[in-house]
RNA sequence: GGCCGGUUCGUCUAGUGGUUAGGACGCGAGAUUCUCAUUCUUGAAACAGGGGUUCAAUUCCCCUACUGGCUACCA
């Protein structure tokens, strides 16, 4: 039999790591078994559901290259949006009423809580009303123009057993299960329990990966299946993903939104890799997995039962790895994007913006120094913003005597003049070649003058970039070009002289 | 409170009735390097506690503790 999976989020918040993990595991299982996966929007909470959150789900899935076989209005069981299927739920609810598996409840309000924080649940006071009482209530409701909710007639005793694909066998006594949950709300909308069961059945869903927070509702769902005389799908209750505080990730607090992480410069392959390893592992050594690997290797029996705390430091490490692995051209593209955002006109207006080679050289200079794409632009800052001389000189005094530059500037200037190319050179290999030549000459120079090569380079670094830690300064020198380098050195010299 | 789940370095995890309990992130130290990084070497760091079963338990069973989830006309 063909496996049919589904991801059924409620659009009441932006997608976070936890939701994405549920989606990913459904997707991996489907693709591993050559099955199908459906996206179904569970927007039965009309007050909290929003279109923008549906868009967010779609965008995040797309960004991570997760595709659905059926979704929205598209597929044999369309629509896949629960708010457009209310008649279906009402119809099935009526069936349960006819079978005496459900009943109208007129006495819901104010009956559900004691005044302490101990929750007792509904008292089932409408479960066994006499015909007269029902009539009276019906009349009352009609006058007020209200609709009664429909409740499921849960068994009062006996056991319920779930054979889960992950947590294995779990057993409940029906008397411990939430008493007679509501199936149809006053607004005519189904609750999760009804809609979910009806849709999973109607859409022929065979396997369900869902978060473990659903475990305690499983008896309700299982009983619903039996009331309808349907076969339930195989359930896989995934361990929870916790935030760094050890608490459940809540979409309402926007923690670790997938969109947000993408915006911060985490690559899609990073997120997939990191999320897949939340509660799943392949062996004791492998760390890096592409989507193709995951689909091939995915194995339900390797899923852990215990919850996992999501660790941002490890995410950084994964991202760093994938940035190091990226092709030069691809990184260059990201750099252009970043710089456009960050520097606007001063980048776009420069000759560098259109110079693919320049961007690629930058890629090589920054790639080992960043964890996220967002960290790129500060490292390239000095290309687009001329450093402040005064500020540089201040740094000088902190680091070492500014006299160094004063004394050595002529020699350095000579070397730069004679060795840097006349016209701009931005091809990375060429840049390195020029840098190497300057280095050789500079080393000889330093040896003759008995001054430290490191210090000379540091002085150049500070003068040219306004910063004491940057990518290798010699390639930067070449990229900046002879004119800019000479101008800057001269200006600095003048400034020091004038002090 | 009740029900249900979980518990191996700080974090993600591997693993087994007999192991020096393995790896990864992070952290410490050292080496390389023009700074910062990268890279390399290396160090510290864990079986929640108590009872059983057993020649032997981190591994199997029970209890306790801790932790999380659910206990909604939210999903």
- Asked if the Cβ of residue A281 lies within 7 A of any atom of strand B, the reply is yes
Residue with tokens 């430290």: A452
pLDDT (tens digit per residue) in A229-288: 999 999 999 999 988 877 777 544 445 799 999 999 999 999 999 999 999 999 888 999
pLDDT at A400: 67
Give A185 CA → B56 C1' in Å.
Answer: 60
Cβ atoms of residues A194 and A92 within 8 Å: yes
* pLDDT for the residue numbered A450: 85
ipTM of this complex = 0.94
| 3-state secondary structure (DSSP) of residue A178 | coil
Is the distance between the Cβ of A368 and the closest atom of strand B smaller than 7 Å?
A: yes
- Å separating the CA of residue A197 from the C1' of nucleotide B60: 38
Amino acid A157 CA to nucleotide B21 C1' distance, rounded Å: 46
Of A196, A208, A153, A150, nearest to A44 by C-alpha is A196
- Asked if A311 CB < 7 A from strand B, the reply is yes
A116 touches strand B (CB under 7 A): no
Angular region, A286: left φ>0, alpha ψ -120 to 50, beta rest: beta
Alpha-carbon torsion angle A411, A414, A416, A417, nearest 10: 170
Q: Which of residues 253-272 of A touch strand B (CB under 7 A)?
A: none
Residues 6+ apart with CB under 8 A from A268: A63, A64, A65, A262
Q: What is the mean pLDDT of chain A?
A: 92
Chain segment A2-21, per-residue pLDDT in tens = 999 999 999 999 999 999 99
Q: Residue A186 in contact with residue A35, Cβ under 8 Å?
A: no
- A170's CB contacts (< 8 A; 6+ apart) are A161, A162, A164, A215, A218
Q: What is the pLDDT of residues A182-229, one digit of tens each?
A: 999 999 999 999 999 999 999 999 999 999 999 999 999 999 999 999
The A182-184 sheet, strands edge to edge: A102-105, A149-152, A182-184
pTM metric for this prediction:
0.93
**Which nt has its C1' nearest the CA of A324?**
B38
A362 touches strand B (CB under 7 A): no
* Exposed e or buried b per residue across A102-131, where buried means at least 16 C-beta atoms within 10 angstroms of its C-beta: bbbbbbbeeeeeeeeeeeeebebebbebee
Low-confidence stretches of chain A (pLDDT beneath 50): 110, 112, 251-254
Nucleotide nearest to A461 (CA to C1'): B35
For position A253, what pLDDT does the model report?
A: 46
Catalytic hit among A153, A251, A357, A482: A251
Extract the tokens encoding A275.
């999320």
| Chain-centroid distance, C-alpha A252 | 15
Residue pair A61/A291 in contact by the 8 Å Cβ criterion: no
Strand B at less than 7 A from CB of A246: yes
Q: What is the pLDDT of residue A243?
A: 82
Positive or negative: CA dihedral A138, A139, A143, A144: negative
What CA dihedral angle connects A248, A249, A250 and A254, to 10 degrees?
160
Residue where the block lists tokens 């913006």: A353
Angle (CA) A224 A225 A227, round 5°: 60
Q: Cα separation of A498 and A495, whole Å?
A: 5
CA distance A420 to A351: 19
Distance CA A4, CA A26 (A): 9
Strand, helix or coil for residue A71:
strand
The verdict on whether A251 is a catalytic residue reads yes
Give the CA-to-C1' distance from A297 to B24 in angstroms.
19
A401 is near strand B: CB distance < 7 Å: no
Q: For chain B, which bases have at least one atom within 7 A of a protein Cβ?
A: 1-8, 10-15, 22-26, 34-38, 67-75
**A466: Cβ under 7 Å from strand B?**
no
Q: Is A157 exposed, middle or buried (0-12, 13-18, 19+ CB in 10 A)?
A: exposed
């Amino acid at each position: 039999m063909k496996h049919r999976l589904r991801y059924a989020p409620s659009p009441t918040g932006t997608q976070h790591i936890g939701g994405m993990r549920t989606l990913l595991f459904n997707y991996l299982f489907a693709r591993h078994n050559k099955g199908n996966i459906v996206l179904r929007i569970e927007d039965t909470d009309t007050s909290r559901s929003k279109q923008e959150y549906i868009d967010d789900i779609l965008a995040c899935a797309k960004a991570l290259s997760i595709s659905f076989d059926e979704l929205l209005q598209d597929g044999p069981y369309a629509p896949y949006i629960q708010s457009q299927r209310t008649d279906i739920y009402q119809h099935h609810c009526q069936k349960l009423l006819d079978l005496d598996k459900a009943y109208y409840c007129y006495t819901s309000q104010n009956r559900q809580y004691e005044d302490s924080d101990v929750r007792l649940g509904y008292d089932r006071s409408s479960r066994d009303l006499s015909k007269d009482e029902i009539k009276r209530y019906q009349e009352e409701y009609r006058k007020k123009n209200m609709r009664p909710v429909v409740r499921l007639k849960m068994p009062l005793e006996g056991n319920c057993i779930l054979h889960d694909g992950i947590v294995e066998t779990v057993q409940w006594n029906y008397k411990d299960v939430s008493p007679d949950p509501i199936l149809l709300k006053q607004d005519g909308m189904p609750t999760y329990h009804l809609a979910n069961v009806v849709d999973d059945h109607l859409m022929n869903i065979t396997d369900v990966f869902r978060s473990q927070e659903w475990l305690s509702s499983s008896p309700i769902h299982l009983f619903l299946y039996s009331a309808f005389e349907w076969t339930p799908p195989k359930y896989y209750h995934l361990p929870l993903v916790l935030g760094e505080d050890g608490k459940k990730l809540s979409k309402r607090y926007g923690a670790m939104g997938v969109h947000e992480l993408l915006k911060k410069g985490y690559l899609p392959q990073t997120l997939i890799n990191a999320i897949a390893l939340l509660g799943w592992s392949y062996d004791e050594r492998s760390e890096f997995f592409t989507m193709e690997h995951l689909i091939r290797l995915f194995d339900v029996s390797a899923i852990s039962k215990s919850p996992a705390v999501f660790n941002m430091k490890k995410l950084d490490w994964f991202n760093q790895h994938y940035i190091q692995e990226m092709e030069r051209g691809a990184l260059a593209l990201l750099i252009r994007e970043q710089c456009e955002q960050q520097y606007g006109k001063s980048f776009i207006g420069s000759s560098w913006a259109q110079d693919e080679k320049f961007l690629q050289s930058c890629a090589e200079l920054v790639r080992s120094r960043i964890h996220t794409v967002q960290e790129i632009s500060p490292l390239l800052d000095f290309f687009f913003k001329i450093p402040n001389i005064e500020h540089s000189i201040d740094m000088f005094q902190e680091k070492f005597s500014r006299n160094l530059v004063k004394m050595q500037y002529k020699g350095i200037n000579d070397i730069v003049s004679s060795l840097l190319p006349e016209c701009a050179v931005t091809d990375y290999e060429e840049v390195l070649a020029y840098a190497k030549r300057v280095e050789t000459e500079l080393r000889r120079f330093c040896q003759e003058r008995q001054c430290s090569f490191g210090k000379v380079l540091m002085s150049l670094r500070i003068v040219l970039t306004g910063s004491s830690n940057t990518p290798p300064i010699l390639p930067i020198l070449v990229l900046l070009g002879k004119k800019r380098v000479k101008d800057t050195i001269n200006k600095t010299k003048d400034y020091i002289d004038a002090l």
